[in-house]
Structure 1
Amino acid sequence: MLDKLYKAFIDATYNVFNLMLNISEISDHPLDEFSCDNGIDIVVEIVGELQGKVIYKFPVDTSLNIVNIMSGMEFDEVDVFVISAVSEIANIISGNVITALSDNELRYDILPPVQGTSDDDKEYEIKTGGCIITPIGEVCLDLRLNRA
């Protein structure tokens, strides 16, 4: 299951970046832990038979590059608009994952994204992460789930 979830997030990220940002050159590598002190963490909670969250870690440079492409305008600092735009990217990726896994026997949904931190003391039985490398920067994923 872990490999299937990880692959679904990688595939959805590739599809969203390709369609929305016209970026088709991406690669990924699994990570146990990723530190992005200078970035934006977007948390999308997963509810249902799987419960937990996926944390998207967008470094500032990656975030600004994404928003510059999406809006056609130059941004040089993170503001409410930039946070909203990367939150929407995380929401679309998560929605695509839920859709792709909908033929599975598990039933689950996502809650709206929020800017947040990845720190919590809760134990998760399913925990994995990865970093997606693109020409405009990295985006890292931290999946933390439990079966309900």
Structure 2
Amino acid sequence: MVNSQSSFLRITFLMMVLVLFGTTSSCEKYSSPNKVERHIVNGSWKLTSAFIDNNEVTSLYANYSFTFSKDGEIDVIGEPTISGNWTTGIEKNPTTLNLTLTPFEPFYDLNADWTVTTCKKDRMTLELRGASSIDVLIISKVE
């Protein structure tokens, strides 16, 4: 009887640890708006991977770099150079990066509220879930 009670307590303890670990791990799933803002305004960025409407379209953006300023403006440097605005959503589960660029092809495809799924100092992954596809952008800091 003591042995089965001891086993029950061990199993209960392990389950509590797993639940606690799962809860704290899921809290780290998304980046805060402050973290996204802090990283994105430091330096220029390149679109290193782009999948829009189930098509790989990275080459359309290969000759452009993106600079995000603290006042919410974006400068897209290339030929032609265009501008726009950006904001982050106020919620952190998930944080969104809202892009509004001059309606110039191919940049109108980037005008959306992108979910930030990865946020590092030198790389961010953005997703946009549609009815028939998941659009993905990966931006990397220019060295």
Give me the TM-score of the superposition, normalised by structure 1: 0.28
Structure with greater Cα Rg? 2
Decide which structure has greater strand share. 2
Give me the TM-score of the superposition, normalised by structure 2: 0.29
